[in-house]
Amino acid sequence: MLLKIVKASAFVALAACTLSANSFNAQAEKDKTELIKYFEAKFADPEKNAATFFPYSTEDELKNNIKKDIKHMDFGIGNYAFNRAGIATYEEIKEMPPYEDAIDAGAALYEKKFANGNSLAICFPDPTIGGDYPMFDESRKEVVSLTQAVNECITSNGEKKWNEKKGDMAKFQAFIANSTKEAEKKVNVKIESAEAAAAYERGKEFYYTQRGYLNLSCATCHVQGAAQRVRNESLSQLLGHTTHFPVYRLKWQGLGTLERRMEGCVKDQGQNPPKPSSKTMKELLYFMAYMSNGMAVDGPDIRK
Ligand code: HEC
């Protein structure tokens, strides 16, 4: 009898859990579906759809440089998804990727013992979790980024925390991204409570809010503006933006985390960037990662 009750209540708990998981992410799922639809429509035939989607691009650009018929999963490689001019150089560099050593160094950091005998491998027994972050920690009721989780592991073992933008942090994340890629896993960010949904909404609001003296939002450049030229850059699309970090940037002559990349973009917007592990930054990344849910993790990567 007791067993029966336990079983029945376990079943109820499970059902309630699935039910709420489905409903708390309903808005995010709707947003993601709309975003995919938007970008697939935009890049179905840029030349034909110029008036609707590319009012600022030249005819030559649309005819000769922007690829058409791009589908959801193709968007994971940033502006190389559509930008013919950039693809050749990109593929050339990828033949001798400058981040290979960083992956090896990251693997060594994973195993390396702290003074107390523990290691990152003990905090992260499964290194193929690159697609699960940022995650909403239901007991702490806050978004936890991979960067934060790594530093919490280190400091809780009595070590000094790492720079959140480069160095060992970027190397370790290169190892995590690569392990996740080799396991063929996808971005898999979850929204399973009202608090998680609220964090997602705040991240989304940050993304779409116009700010700075130029009155730009992230979306001005990376949704409506995607494929538009800014100086000698082609603006990439929000869809797939978090799949490939950390990246080796030619400009940096080194590897950097997603937080490091964010800093440059927010500054370009004429704003002071939120700190890498601030609530604002983590919720922004949570929203962005959700938009990439279901896409392959394929970091580390290279960028100009
Ligand atoms: C003035 C236009 C502009 C604004 C506004 C802007 N960015 Fe960017 N962003 C760029 C340019 C240019 C690049 C480099 C080319 C590219 O990959 O898009 C870039 C690159 C990025 C990348 C790296 C893409 C990759 O594949 O490596 C991310 C992620 C990103 N931006 C996110 C954001 C976020 C989030 C915001 C808002 C806080 C934002 N950007 C605001 C212009 C902008």
Tell me the pLDDT tens digit for each residue of 234-264: 999 999 999 999 999 999 999 999 999 999 9
CB-facing half-sphere around the CA of 12: CA atoms within 13 A: 6
Question: Is residue 261 in contact with ligand 1, taking CB distance under 6 Å?
Answer: yes
**What's the average model confidence in pLDDT over 190-198?**
98
The burial class, CB within 10 Å (0-12 / 13-18 / 19+), for 185 is middle
User: What is the residue extent of each domain of the chain?
Assistant: 8-97+188-303, 100-182
Tokens of 275: 């700190």
Residue 45's SS3 state is coil
What pLDDT was estimated at residue 56? 84
* Structure letter (DSSP) for residue 256: E
d(CA 249, CA 265): 14
- Residue 176 burial by CB count (10 A; 0-12/13-18/19+): exposed, middle or buried? buried
Question: 21 C-alpha vs ligand 1 centroid, how far in Å?
Answer: 31
Q: What is the pLDDT of residue 1?
A: 40
CB 296 within 8 A of CB 186: yes
For the stretch 139-174, pLDDT in tens is 999 999 999 999 999 999 999 999 999 999 999 999
pTM over 0.85: yes
Lowest-pLDDT range of 1-15, 180-194, 215-229: 1-15
Q: Which atom of ligand 1 is nearest to the CA of 242?
A: 29
95 is written with which tokens?
A: 């033949």
Which has more confidence, 230 or 128? Answer: 128
Type of residue numbered 110: Y
In 3-state terms the chain splits into helix, strand, coil percentages (rounded to 5) of: 55, 10, 35
> Span 287-293, mean pLDDT?
98
Q: How many CB atoms neighbour CB 72 within 10 A?
A: 16
Spatial neighbors of 98 by CB under 8 A, at least 6 apart, are 248, 302
Q: Check for a shared fold between 8-97+188-303 and 100-182.
A: yes
- Structure-block tokens of residue 268: 């370009």
Average confidence (pLDDT) over 269-286 = 94
Residue 215 in this model has a pLDDT that exceeds 60: yes
Q: Over the stretch 4-53, which tens digit does the pLDDT of each residue have?
A: 444 444 444 444 445 555 699 999 999 999 999 999 999 999 999 999 99
Residue 108 one-letter amino acid? A
Residues written for the chain: 304
Closest-CA residue, ligand 1 atom 3, reads: 221
In Å, how far are 136, 137, 205, 214, 294 from 29, measured between CA atoms? 16, 20, 16, 31, 11
pLDDT at 14: 47
For a pocket test of ligand 1, which of 236, 281, 282 has the largest count of ligand atoms closer than 8 A to its C-beta? 236
- Residue 256 to residues 48, 85, 109, 115, 134, Cα–Cα distance (Å): 38, 24, 16, 26, 17
**Catalytic annotation present for 265:** yes
Q: How far is the CA of 123 from the centre of ligand 1 (A)?
A: 32
pLDDT of residue 271: 86
Cα separation, 261 vs 48, whole angstroms: 33
Q: Which CATH superfamily is domain 100-182 in?
A: Cytochrome c-like domain (1.10.760.10)
Does the beta carbon of 222 lie inside 6 Å of ligand 1?
A: yes
Per-residue confidence band for 233, with pLDDT thresholds at 50, 70 and 90: confident
Which residue in 138, 141, 159 sits closest to 150, CA to CA? 159
C-alpha torsion sign, points 43, 45, 47, 53: negative
CA distance 33 to 291: 9
Task: Name the token pair of 53.
Answer: 């989607």
pLDDT recorded at residue 22: 64
Domain 8-97+188-303 carries which CATH code? 1.10.760.10
**Mean pLDDT taken over the chain:** 92
Q: Taking each helix axis from N to C terminus, what angle separates 100-111 and 168-182, rounded to the nearest 10 degrees?
A: 100
Q: What is the pLDDT of residue 214?
A: 85
Residue among 243, 259, 248, 244 at smallest CA distance from 145: 259
- Using the mean position of ligand 1's atoms as its centre, give its distance from the Cα of residue 13 in Å: 42
Interhelix angle for 279-291 vs 258-268, to 10°? 100
Asked if the model's pLDDT at residue 276 lies above 90, the reply is: yes
